[in-house]
Amino acid sequence: MDSASAEDLTCPVCQENFKDPFVLTCKHRYCKECLRSSWRDKKTKKCPMCRRRSSQELPPVMCILHKVEAQLFCVEDKQYVCLACVNSEEHTNHTFRSIRGFISSYKETKERSSSESEEICGLHDEKLQLFCQEDKQPVCVECVYAETHTSHTFKSISEAASTYKEKLKTKMKTLEENRKHKENIKGEFEESAKHIKVKVEQTQKQIEHQFETLRQKLEEEKQAVIAALREEEEKMMKKTVEEIESQISTITDAIKDTEEMLKTSDDCLLKKADVLMKRVQISQPDPELPSAASINVSRYLWNFMSNIKKKMEETINSFFQDTPVLLDPKTAHQHLIVSDDLTSVKRRENLPDTPVKPYYPYVLALKGYNSGKHSWDVEVKDSKFWTVGVMTESNHKKGGDVFKSDNWSVHYDNYGMTAWAGFSVNQNLERVRVELDYDNGAVSFSDPVKNTPLHTFTTTFTETVFPFFHTLDSLKILRLSDE
């Protein structure tokens, strides 16, 4: 059979030999089921190939057995049946579907079959072996000679796929690096979140402690003022009572003496009559009774509020003086561990005692300074190798040998590892005090234990500087209450 006769017997929708063919007025032929599937749920019926409208109606599906219009589809027998067939012996225990449901399933099956055969050229029914670089799509050998691909360049499918795979691998590598970068950021965030949580909890405890301290001081002041008020009340009442009781006692004594004289003889009474008359003529002014107006309310309230203000200021000043420089774990060298309260740093265990030079395990403070005066004390007694001071923010970010410039520090090296460019101390100290005067461009170092100066740097600061702490052992930032 030649290609022309084969094409005449093939449905252009299902690409199979016609099954119950139907001819449209445009002369294109289709399987009735393919045409029903194409026209399903469409208001305007068109030829699937030429898109010409058709007024033709497909004949109803007929039941072969009873010669009436079919209403169901028998899944087992693969044929249309009427309602009478459902109860017939020929279809006992068979499964039935609605014609509409069968047509929908038929169309889906055809579409899936078409997608599974994408490796075959839809125009020439040949295997796709080449890739058109201009059209960016696979083609068959016959397509090379088609007018639509004139002057186009082609690659083998494998070569083109290899090129795209390499591009995708490159993109994948970039995506992997980006994901790793995001995971690192997530890790840093989680680490920061942990330190933030610790700091919040510590701050909450400090607030509660300071509030309780202030409450106790206020309570003490309240009790002291009330006690003073009660004492004044007691003194005032006692004075008045004592004065009244004294007068009553004087009168009582006069009455008693008079009663005794009245019991004596007349001549005795007359002898002492003048004295007795003077005795009974007692003249005492009534004591001045205390008044509520005599309580100086303003004085008590003024003293009370003044003392409260003083104690609050003392508590607030104490709180701020007690807050140390805090360390930033994100800036810590990988060989260092920063404590949870961010006030101390130590070297990790199981690391070489004499690492390869240059070696700069340091950590910055959480806060930098660009104005004002600031000071902090560092406990260095447990470290045989340390450096403390300040450095610029840009110096830290550049990495490398950060101690060659843009830092002002003192250094102690009991290991004899390297000559220090800055100021070195020869004796091991217990503590070092760092004093920064940003506005006047000075960084001073001293021994607070012996109260002796170590060294002072003078410069002109042009950017933010951060306290830093460099050690091969451990360092601790002291609170003023620890001094």
Tokens of 221: 């002041």
Round to whole Å and give the CA distance between 148 and 67. Answer: 51
Please tell me the predicted confidence (pLDDT) of residue 301.
81
Cα distances (Å, whole numbers) of residue 128 to 115, 125, 132, 139, 397: 14, 9, 11, 5, 56
pLDDT tops 50 at residue 331? yes
DSSP 368: -
CATH classification of the domain holding 136: 3.30.160.60
Task: Classify the C-alpha dihedral 66-72-74-79 as positive or negative.
Answer: positive
Round to whole Å and give the CA distance between 452 and 376. Answer: 16
Between 37 and 329, name the one with better pLDDT.
329
CA 404 from chain centre, in angstroms, equals 36
Last residue of a domain, one of 276, 302, 321: 321
Please tell me the predicted confidence (pLDDT) of residue 14.
77
Provide φ and ψ at 473, rounded to 5°: -130, -95
Same domain, 417 and 472: yes
Between 299 and 335, name the one with better pLDDT.
335
pLDDT tops 70 at residue 5? no
Between 283 and 215, name the one with better pLDDT.
215
Please tell me the predicted confidence (pLDDT) of residue 109.
60
Tokens of 162: 């290899």
CA 273 from chain centre, in angstroms, equals 105
Please give the average per-residue pLDDT across 286-308, as a whole number: 75
186 inside domain: no
Between 369 and 81, name the one with better pLDDT.
369
% of the chain with per-residue pLDDT over 90: 20
Same domain, 124 and 112: no
Please tell me the predicted confidence (pLDDT) of residue 481.
45
Same domain, 369 and 461: yes
pLDDT tops 70 at residue 111? no
pLDDT tops 60 at residue 107? no
251 inside domain: yes
Count of the separate structural domains present in the chain: 4
Please tell me the predicted confidence (pLDDT) of residue 4.
43
193 inside domain: no
Give the torsion through C-alpha atoms of 13, 16, 21, 24, to 10 deg: 30
Same domain, 361 and 376: yes
Looking only at the bridges linking them, the beta strands covering 154-156 and 431-437 are unpaired
176 inside domain: no
pLDDT tops 80 at residue 434? yes
Q: Which of 32-46, 247-261, 284-298, 440-454 has the highest mean pLDDT?
A: 440-454
Confidence of residue 142 (pLDDT cuts 50, 70, 90): confident
pLDDT tops 90 at residue 428? no
Q: Round the average pLDDT of the chain to a whole number and report it.
A: 80
The mean-pLDDT minimum among 134-138, 192-196, 363-367, 375-379 falls in 192-196
Same domain, 279 and 412: no
Same domain, 357 and 445: yes
Last residue of a domain, one of 85, 116, 147: 116
Please tell me the predicted confidence (pLDDT) of residue 409.
92
Please tell me the predicted confidence (pLDDT) of residue 8.
65
Same domain, 73 and 35: yes
pLDDT tops 90 at residue 440? yes
Please give the average per-residue pLDDT across 303-323, as a whole number: 71
| pLDDT tens string 153-168 | 888 888 888 888 999 9
Round to whole Å and give the CA distance between 329 and 187. Answer: 13
Same domain, 475 and 342: yes
Same domain, 342 and 474: yes
435 inside domain: yes
DSSP 282: -
Between 77 and 455, name the one with better pLDDT.
455
Please give the average per-residue pLDDT across 94-108, as a whole number: 70
Please tell me the predicted confidence (pLDDT) of residue 193.
86
Please give the average per-residue pLDDT across 342-363, as a whole number: 75
170 inside domain: no
DSSP 367: -
Please tell me the predicted confidence (pLDDT) of residue 1.
38
Please tell me the predicted confidence (pLDDT) of residue 211.
83
Confidence of residue 355 (pLDDT cuts 50, 70, 90): low
pLDDT tops 80 at residue 147? no
**What residue type is assigned to position 77 of the chain?**
D
Q: Which of 96-100, 228-232, 248-252, 443-447 has the highest mean pLDDT?
A: 443-447
Same domain, 339 and 476: yes
Please tell me the predicted confidence (pLDDT) of residue 6.
53
| pLDDT tens string 189-199 | 888 888 788 87
**What residue type is assigned to position 155 of the chain?**
K
Last residue of a domain, one of 93, 116, 139: 116
CATH classification of the domain holding 107: 3.30.40.10
Same domain, 408 and 296: no
260 inside domain: yes
Task: Classify the C-alpha dihedral 112-115-120-124 as positive or negative.
Answer: positive
What's the domain range around 436?
329-482
The mean-pLDDT minimum among 260-269, 286-295, 403-412 falls in 286-295
Q: Which of 23-27, 59-63, 133-137, 276-280 has the highest mean pLDDT?
A: 133-137
181 inside domain: no
Neighbours of 266 (CB within 10 A): 7
CATH classification of the domain holding 405: 2.60.120.920
DSSP 288: P
Same domain, 478 and 345: yes
